[in-house]
Structure 1
């Protein structure tokens, strides 16, 4: 029961790691009318979830295995490889700022030697500190298996976008919960499609999303950092 309670705690959208400051490109998607309504929002959430699985999800799974094998260098490799593949300064900022915040929070309530070493390397600039790698270190130390960790990450991505949607568009909590419920249908297929991929296969083709991220970098009026 304690294990389940902690899974809920670390997947809660109110976890104080700063994810509320980012929209995962949704703000620009609305400004450019790529997303216009709840149907478009569902499609957008599913697009980002697919991209996240093929990028962040692969890095998370590799880092999780590395933590269990006590292979710190492999953890850092996954961190660096993911950072290099994320297009756009704001996407990199989101990954590293929230990742560091999660690590710092966990170090106060569930510390581990590897986590402290990783935070030290972030401070020194030796590794970027991406969120999926932070989740892998923290969750593996807590006894969370790789499937649970992947599901928690994907849930957090969808929750972040839908939380932003409530502040950016005419939509209510019922619609966002319906979208979240529907979007979670794909999580098993996404996991099975990436669980055996190597870091070299960590890639994503989502040009519309990349353009939206680039658009948001130069827009003059915005509510979110990303």
Structure 2
């Protein structure tokens, strides 16, 4: 199976995980004035890729994929639990768990594989989104490097789409930002490929605060 084809399907906006409903705290950052043009949005997204939540998601993805390949159910369950624990706000947990659970449901129906059943056997709780995609990717024998890059690009593309809908940037600037972040995404994926759980860590405090503040934001378009 050509690696990019299932990844294109799973990580496209049409795959039924509801990614369009989440802004990852960008909505509050926009309302507060932190984000107001392409330059500020680009800095914010690059920080998430290199030092923030996406960096951690890629590490979790890599560790989960390797645990699936090794048929290490104990480690897979540990990673699944840790991925939820690392969600540092109610909305971040909602975002990753809702998408992860929806992804598992869709893959079991349309793209079944033993790895997804192994994941559900090893861990019966909510499934964080990167763990769910990692299990399917490993279960279908997709290259880890390509899967990490695809996941990272989909994360950025979804936040750029949210930013366009919020009016932070227009469609052309949004595409320019996505293209400009591709090298950073590739570097983050490359670093995550051999990472362990000991490499987890982030320092994007303003993004974390945005997620917390969004919970009580008066007028909202997004669930996070």
Is TM > 0.5 for Structure 1 vs Structure 2? Answer: yes
Conservation of the 8 A alpha-carbon contact between 1:53 and 1:191: no
Q: For residues 7 and 98 of structure 1, what CA distance do their matches in structure 2 show?
A: 16
Shift of 1:196: 3.3
SS at match of 1:127: coil
Matches within 5 A, 1:1-226: 2-50=2-50, 51-119=52-120, 126-169=124-167, 171-226=169-224
C-alpha change, 1:114 and 1:196, in structure 2 (3 Å) is closer
Shift of 1:52: 3.0
Q: For residues 158 and 61 of structure 1, what CA distance do their matches in structure 2 show?
A: 18
Greater Cα shift, 37-46 or 24-33: 37-46
- Give unpaired runs (5+ residues) of structure 1: none
Conservation of the 8 A alpha-carbon contact between 1:53 and 1:154: yes
SS at match of 2:176: helix
Q: For residues 86 and 73 of structure 1, what CA distance do their matches in structure 2 show?
A: 21
Q: For residues 82 and 54 of structure 1, what CA distance do their matches in structure 2 show?
A: 12
Shift of 1:91: 0.4
Shift of 1:5: 2.3
Conservation of the 8 A alpha-carbon contact between 2:113 and 2:140: no
Q: For residues 11 and 49 of structure 2, what CA distance do their matches in structure 1 show?
A: 16
Q: For residues 218 and 121 of structure 1, what CA distance do their matches in structure 2 show?
A: 35
Q: For residues 187 and 161 of structure 1, what CA distance do their matches in structure 2 show?
A: 14
- Give unpaired runs (5+ residues) of structure 2: none
Shift of 1:170: 5.1
Q: For residues 196 and 7 of structure 2, what CA distance do their matches in structure 1 show?
A: 26
Greater Cα shift, 165-174 or 86-95: 165-174
Shift of 1:223: 0.6
Conservation of the 8 A alpha-carbon contact between 1:85 and 1:203: no
C-alpha change, 1:162 and 1:74, in structure 2 (3 Å) is same
Q: For residues 6 and 85 of structure 1, what CA distance do their matches in structure 2 show?
A: 28
Q: Between Structure 1 and Structure 2, how many residues are aligned?
A: 223
Greater Cα shift, 31-40 or 48-57: 48-57
Shift of 1:121: 6.6
C-alpha change, 1:142 and 1:49, in structure 2 (3 Å) is same
Greater Cα shift, 194-203 or 81-90: 194-203
Q: For residues 203 and 93 of structure 1, what CA distance do their matches in structure 2 show?
A: 20
